[in-house]
Amino acid sequence: MPVTNFPFPALAQRALLTAAIFFTGCSESADRVSPELSLRQKIAQKLMLDVRYYCSDEQRQTPDDGAAPRCETPVTVLPDDLRKMISESDVGGIILFADNLADSAQMVRLNRDLRRAALESKSGLPLLVGVDQEGGRVNRLPRDEAAAFAGNMAIGATYTRRGDHFARETAGAMAEQLKALGFNVNFAPTLDVNSNPENPVINVRSYGESPQMVAELGAASVEAFQQKGIAATVKHFPGHGDTSVDSHTGLPRVARARDAAWAVDLLPFSRVIERAQPALIMTAHIQYPALDDTILQARSGEEILVPATLSRKILSGILRGEMGYEGVIVTDALDMAGISHYFTPEQAVVHTFAAGADIALMPVKIRYPEDLAKVDTLIDAVAAAVADGSLDVDELESSVARILQLKQRVTDPLWLQQGEKEAVHAAQSVLASPAHRELASQLASAALTSVFTPVDSALPVIHKNTRRVQVLSPNSAIGEAFRIALAAVTGADIEILETDSALDAIVASPADALIVASVVPSESAVEMGGAEDLAKMPYRRPDQKALYDIYRQSLVAARAQGSKTVFVSMRSPYESADFHGLADVYLASFDYKGFIGPGRKLQGPIYHALARALVSGTVPGGDLPVTVRAPALSTAPVTDVVSVLESDPVPGTVPASTPIDRPAPAAAQ
């Protein structure tokens, strides 16, 4: 079924097919008949590259230890080398990351330059400019300027009382932000059903564990994005929810039977295709033997079960054949270990095109001038596969036609027609929208959930007679965000505890209340950007076991001395089960990110929602969208107070600050 629900000006409705009329020139307003595309141009239209970093020869630095050079210079202004690559190669799309996005003025200029570079190509075809703006864990726009929304599981927690309201409204708000900045593709929403509590990469990026709820909220989100001119991308097909491995670091396998696959993982995709007709569907780098048990030979000679991204049975057979999907299929980033560990870029692209994918996302990295040749090398490899029959010519033609139909729908010529100052001003106005910030606040409050029924006497946690509150969190930035939010609702002194001295402080001088805020699972590569960030991960992850020991000891000690205790799961609600019986109140916020700007102004709706809940006598109104099972026996019984008070806290390698989307003063992200 065709992609619909895109409103466009009359100018943009002129045909944009292979030998049809395209908007060209710097204004995207002059039209001409595009020449017939060559084979190389058609292949290039099927590539979507990232320009996250680029280093000229002058910027090249070789590490002292002799390791390979590593380029980490963000592209915030389009270099001439990359401009030339885009215009000469006819590449079809570009994906941007948080590193590329500093403020509204810079974002507008960069996107205008990217789109102009494409229009200067021989074909004059417009560019797809995409970004991962899911909300919650995966948020690319700068938080100091753009309202940021809690992610999908927070929305799932509001479903019982508010239906699809927040899915629709937040997607609409994000679409307004992205469109004003010059984006036309968003790689959201996630339709994975998070049925595995140990899932390290999906988890709270999922709406929840109910396939029906995921389908309904996903459809509402897709409709809202596309009604406002942003192509939505549902992911990760055929479903990444029942995995315990991150496909950035390995190749996960889903062990469901085929009937269960259709009842759980595939159901949201089937229903969203039928109801909302998403513009794009992104593949998952997972093995799903019930859907395809084909064996492929990896570059090492090893035989492996085919990943879904390279599976013809899954992409062409199930997605196109059985589900009738007629939109664009895009791969997840091909530099992820789930693919790149087993296949060369050329092998991966040829395999995925043969499977039925339309767009190969991030197939090669271009970080230095010598990398520019990789694009031609990749196109050569695909052209050779066409020549030897490995790739079907008719299928390639149909694939390119789908991409061009998508471009027809998302190319708004008026955005480039306006002057730069006008475009910047318009973007700044949208990003400053009070309505967006109010919506973010409403979602944070509505999503806040009591994991276990609180002790009646514990509410409110903080009242008019409360004099001191202690806060224990993984790092000082999160603690400071709590201090600012709590100061707005109580006159009590707020003491931020250091993890390595928390137990001593609690024993020596207990407060009226102790709040323990936990952020688990650890940050995954997708939050930082992608597979390229894996080398940084060991330096940014806390020792979870050591941290949990400190939390348990602190909760036990505080309760033994009469303090009220609160455990807040600021990311995954599943972890509350590990602390069952140790706190009076258990809250799940599904989000922990924020921004502390000049004047100690906190842009962090979830912290303000938590502060309001802690001074309220009413149980928060959210409902868990996943099952959290309390253990039969607590892992650290409250009765064992003496041994806990006499033991030393286990030292942890807790980082000094939390991972952030971009450098910023006192950020709590």
> Band of the pLDDT at 552, cuts 50, 70, 90?
very high
H helix runs in 264-392, sequence order: 266-276, 312, 337-340, 345-355, 373-387
* pLDDT, tens only, 29-61: 333 334 489 999 999 999 999 999 999 988 887
The residue-averaged pLDDT of 113-133 equals: 97
> Band of the pLDDT at 542, cuts 50, 70, 90?
low
Looking at residue 544, its pLDDT comes to 87
The segment with the largest mean pLDDT, out of 5-14, 312-321, 533-542, is 312-321
Q: Are 173 and 623 in contact (CB under 8 A)?
A: no
The residue-averaged pLDDT of 595-599 equals: 90
Looking at residue 11, its pLDDT comes to 29
The CATH number of 10-431 is 3.20.20.300
Angle between helix 165-181 and helix 420-431 axes, rounded to 10 deg: 160
Looking at residue 245, its pLDDT comes to 72
* pLDDT, tens only, 142-162: 999 999 999 999 999 999 999
The segment with the largest mean pLDDT, out of 8-17, 499-508, 591-600, is 499-508
> Band of the pLDDT at 568, cuts 50, 70, 90?
very high
H helix runs in 529-576, sequence order: 544-560
Q: In terms of C-beta density within 10 A (0-12 exposed, 13-18 middle, 19 or more buried), how is residue 508 classed?
A: exposed
> Band of the pLDDT at 646, cuts 50, 70, 90?
very low
The residue-averaged pLDDT of 518-527 equals: 69
* pLDDT, tens only, 79-102: 999 999 999 999 999 999 999 999
| 23 has pLDDT over 60 | no
536's CB contacts (< 8 A; 6+ apart) are: 528
- Dist. CA 365–CA 53, nearest whole Å: 9
Q: What is the percent of the chain with per-residue pLDDT over 70, rounded to a whole number?
A: 85
The CATH number of 448-646 is 3.40.50.1700
Looking at residue 455, its pLDDT comes to 77
Q: Measuring CA to CA, how many Å separate 280 from each of 6, 54, 220, 272, 358?
A: 13, 28, 15, 11, 10
As a whole number, the mean pLDDT across the chain is 88
β-strands 468-472, 360-361: how paired? Answer: unpaired
> In which residue are the tokens 């700044």 written?
428
| pTM of this prediction exceeds 0.85 | yes
- Residue, of 434 and 633, whose pLDDT is higher: 434
Looking at residue 363, its pLDDT comes to 98
Q: Are 104 and 145 in contact (CB under 8 A)?
A: yes
> In which residue are the tokens 């513009």 written?
279
> Band of the pLDDT at 129, cuts 50, 70, 90?
very high
* pLDDT, tens only, 168-187: 999 999 999 999 999 999 99
- Dist. CA 483–CA 246, nearest whole Å: 34
The residue-averaged pLDDT of 631-659 equals: 35
The pair phi, psi for residue 197, each rounded to 5°, is -60, -20
Say whether 448-646 and 10-431 share the same fold: no
Domain residue extents for the chain: 10-431, 448-646
- Which DSSP string do the residues of 379-404 spell out, in sequence order? HHHHHHHHHTTSS-HHHHHHHHHHHH
Residue 428's SS3 state is helix
- Dist. CA 69–CA 478, nearest whole Å: 34
- Dist. CA 549–CA 153, nearest whole Å: 27
| 254 has pLDDT over 50 | yes
Point out the residues that are catalytic.
Answer: 332
Q: Are 62 and 450 in contact (CB under 8 A)?
A: no
Residue 112's SS3 state is helix
